[in-house]
Amino acid sequence: MSTSPGRADVARSVAGRRRALWLGGLGFAALLLASAGVRAACDGPQVRPAQAAIASAHPLATEAGLKILDAGGNAFDAAVAVTAALAVVEPYGSGFGGGGFWLLHRAHDCHETMLDGRERAPLAAHRDLFLDDAGQFVPESALVGPLSAGIPGTPAGLVQLAEGYGRLPLAQTLAPAVGLARDGFDIGDGYRRVAAWRLSALRASPAGAAQFLVDDEVPPRGHRLRQPDLADTLERLASGGHAGFYAGETAERLVSGVRAAGGIWTLEDLAEYRAVEREPIVAQFRGWRLVSAAPPSSGGVLLVQILNMLSAIEPQPESDTQRVHALTETMRRAYRDRARYLGDPDHVEMPIERLTHPHYAAGLIRDFDPTRATPSTTPETDVPASEGRDTTHFSILDREGNRVAATLSINYPFGSGFVPPGTGVLLNDEMDDFSAQPGVANAYGLVGGEANAIAPGKRMLSSMSPTFLESSETVAILGTPGGSRIITMVLQGVLGAVDGVPLEDWIARPRIHHQYLPDRLEFESGALSPAEQRDLTAMGHRLELLIRPIGDMQAILWDRANGQVKAASDPRGAGHAEVR
Ligand code: DON
């Protein structure tokens, strides 16, 4: 069980761990072979964990999940409860107006799948949706108001999770969230900080302002947030299942609210929406099995590419500076491919097998220079600043050995800011995750091309990377929010786990990030010593110290040899992990 220190404590605990970052090495001896599969090795006696665990970004969400486990629910039932509770108590991070990915492992038959509840573009959307008459991208239009909202996938995902994998009725698993929405909860400092940042987006929506502000201002400390419209919407979902959200009263209110404010949703958009099960990206390395998110997330593919490249570097780096340099160069090359190749698998052909093959990685890293940074050659456009702890992740392990890793989002904090009147549903602004124009950066500085261009009914490319990692002795369940940095944060968690770094340390230790464009090596305070900063700069890296900590990782570690289960919540956030 972990507690959550305040911001100053976080800075200290992060900085205090800096030497742990690279000394353990990066596991460069890894040989990684990629293959897509939906069944883990299920032979041999099935060991069960002695305890269950939940790690989530909010104590009330962890509590909601534990309540469902105590009532006889499995990890999938608990995942419904945690998803719904997070939507209520972290309304700025995820919600019923958003989407996400639930990575599932069912213990009795080792079935593994990624439940894709990612938003889709409305059917009336088109590739130039966010360009003005002069053909220029208007960033605000993809981030604020109903035009920026994709068709939500979280409600459909929850129905599918409950019906396909859970054993309790939705009325029971959604009940904690309904209670939190109706009775209210006291908002924290995180809420007030991001509400101040998205104040104008919330003010632009009368129902959004009424729900999340007080007299059009950031609510005072200790404010109790009640969301009765959302409670009613959840009850309609609980009683009606898919149709309880995507048809009837809720759908009609969503569509009429969106259209009255200039949006383009139709009832058909909602009626057509389905969550989809996809084969996760699976890879083996150094005796570990990695299972992570498949497209329309770029997470799994990039994780495999980076691990493959790290394995292919010869000779393997020895000093800390060389390791950071190698890691940066592999990140740079993987994100270049993200922009070139990846998108919605239902709309674009992607060479996934080739991209995740060790031979391809060896080719990508052929121009690696152990002494010099490789400049990113594509020209840079304006790079917006982005924050890093919105969106949300939770991890669950039950006593049967069922696992869930889920990352959920409405994109920017408080999403589009828009609430269709009478629904309590805050809509996402996930349309900004599309490439609005080739080579033009989105809110996370990511560029893209044709593969991620807007098209009717298409899912926008994501970085969300819920991940399982497994050896014969250990199972890890992990993930984090953080926009484009999600993948490199999960990577650093994976490397920590593989290197045997204690769970609390690999969650807390300072992180680095590179994403091809902008061409800069970002680092959290304490990640690089002054000497490393000097040496990396001399090698041609453009270094940037991040002002705020990034990520909010939630992870579980199950030691199969002794049955022990540990869970930890990132000290950067206000989450809560509990084993019981
Ligand atoms: O799907 C994605 O990649 C983004 N919409 C995630 C946004 C996010 O993590 C924001 N939090 N910092």
Q: pLDDT grade, residue 449 (50/70/90)?
A: confident
Residues in the ligand 1 pocket, defined by CB under 6 Å: 387-391, 409, 411, 430, 433, 462-464, 481-483, 486
- Nearest residue by C-alpha to atom 5 in ligand 1: 411
- Nearest residue by C-alpha to atom 6 in ligand 1: 483
Q: Are 38 and 551 in contact (CB under 8 A)?
A: no
Q: Of 84-93, 123-132, 385-394, 483-492, which gets the smallest average pLDDT? A: 385-394
Give the 3-state secondary structure of 512-557.
EECCCCCCCEEECCCCCCHHHHHHHHHCCCCEEECCCCCCCCEEEE
35 is in an annotated binding site: no
Name beta bridge partners: 87. none
Q: pLDDT grade, residue 385 (50/70/90)?
A: low
pLDDT tens per residue, range 552-573: 999 999 999 889 999 999 999 9
pLDDT of 379 over the 80 cut: no
569 is in an annotated binding site: no
| pTM of the model as a whole | 0.94
Closest to 407 (Cα-Cα) out of 387, 396, 392: 392
pLDDT of 469 over the 70 cut: yes
pLDDT tens per residue, range 59-84: 999 999 999 999 999 999 999 999 99
Higher pLDDT, 447 or 556: 556
Q: Which atom of ligand 1 is least distant from the CA of 386?
A: 12
Q: Which atom of ligand 1 is least distant from the CA of 118?
A: 1
Q: Of 109-118, 127-136, 313-322, 443-452, which gets the smallest average pLDDT? A: 443-452
Count of residues for the chain?
Answer: 580
Distance CA 533, CA 325 (A): 11
Question: What is the per-residue pLDDT for 45?
Answer: 64
| From 411, 433, 511, 515, mutation site for ligand 1 pocket: most ligand atoms within 8 A of C-beta | 411
* Dist. CA 490 → ligand 1 center (Å): 13
Q: What is the mean pLDDT of the chain?
A: 92
**Can you tell me which residue has the tokens 């107006």?**
97
What contacts 164, CB < 8 A, 6 or more positions away?
none
- Nearest residue by C-alpha to atom 1 in ligand 1: 462
- Amino acid at site 550: I
Q: List the Cα angle 444/450/452 in 5-degree steps.
A: 45
| From 302, 389, 391, mutation site for ligand 1 pocket: most ligand atoms within 8 A of C-beta | 391
Q: Which helix (DSSP H) or strand (DSSP E) does residue 467 occupy?
A: strand 467-470
Give the 3-state secondary structure of 279-333.
CCEEEEECCEEEEECCCCECHHHHHHHHHHHHHHCCCCCCCHHHHHHHHHHHHHH
520 is in an annotated binding site: no
Q: Are 321 and 532 in contact (CB under 8 A)?
A: yes
Q: Of 11-25, 37-51, 342-356, which gets the smallest average pLDDT? A: 11-25
- Nearest residue by C-alpha to atom 9 in ligand 1: 483
- Amino acid at site 238: A
Catalytic residue among 173, 391, 467, 480: 391
- Nearest residue by C-alpha to atom 8 in ligand 1: 483
What contacts 409, CB < 8 A, 6 or more positions away?
93, 94, 98, 99, 100, 390, 391, 392, 428, 430, 462, 464, 481
* Dist. CA 216 → ligand 1 center (Å): 26
DSSP assigned state of 149: P
Question: What is the per-residue pLDDT for 388?
Answer: 60
Distance CA 13, CA 508 (A): 7
483 is in an annotated binding site: yes
| From 301, 416, 486, mutation site for ligand 1 pocket: most ligand atoms within 8 A of C-beta | 486
* Dist. CA 464 → ligand 1 center (Å): 7
For residue 315, whether the previous peptide bond is cis, meaning omega lies within 30 degrees of 0, is: yes
* Dist. CA 412 → ligand 1 center (Å): 7
Q: Which atom of ligand 1 is least distant from the CA of 432?
A: 5
Q: pLDDT grade, residue 386 (50/70/90)?
A: low
462 is in an annotated binding site: yes
* Dist. CA 388 → ligand 1 center (Å): 8
239 is in an annotated binding site: no
* Dist. CA 347 → ligand 1 center (Å): 21
Sheet with 521-523, strands from edge to edge, namely: 512-513, 521-523, 543-545
* Dist. CA 445 → ligand 1 center (Å): 12
Question: What is the per-residue pLDDT for 92?
Answer: 98
How many Cα atoms sit within 13 Å of 453 on the Cβ side? 12
Q: Which atom of ligand 1 is least distant from the CA of 388?
A: 12
Percent of the chain with pLDDT over 70: 91
Question: What is the per-residue pLDDT for 271?
Answer: 98
Q: pLDDT grade, residue 19 (50/70/90)?
A: very low
Question: What is the per-residue pLDDT for 440?
Answer: 87
479 is in an annotated binding site: no
pLDDT of 12 over the 70 cut: no
Question: What is the per-residue pLDDT for 267?
Answer: 98
Question: What is the per-residue pLDDT for 382?
Answer: 62
Closest to 380 (Cα-Cα) out of 540, 515, 518: 518
216 is in an annotated binding site: no
| From 464, 480, 522, 554, mutation site for ligand 1 pocket: most ligand atoms within 8 A of C-beta | 464
Closest to 146 (Cα-Cα) out of 269, 274, 232: 269
Burial status of residue 303 (CB atoms within 10 A of its CB: 0-12, 13-18, 19 or more): buried
Name beta bridge partners: 104. 113, 404
Domains of the chain: 53-281+380-579 (3.60.20.40)
Question: What is the per-residue pLDDT for 37?
Answer: 37
* Dist. CA 251 → ligand 1 center (Å): 25
pLDDT of 371 over the 70 cut: yes
Distance CA 337, CA 182 (A): 46
Question: How distant, in Å, are the alpha carbons of 224, 271, 346 from that of 456?
Answer: 40, 15, 12
Percent of the chain with pLDDT over 90: 86
Question: Is there a catalytic annotation at residue 381?
Answer: no
- Nearest residue by C-alpha to atom 10 in ligand 1: 483
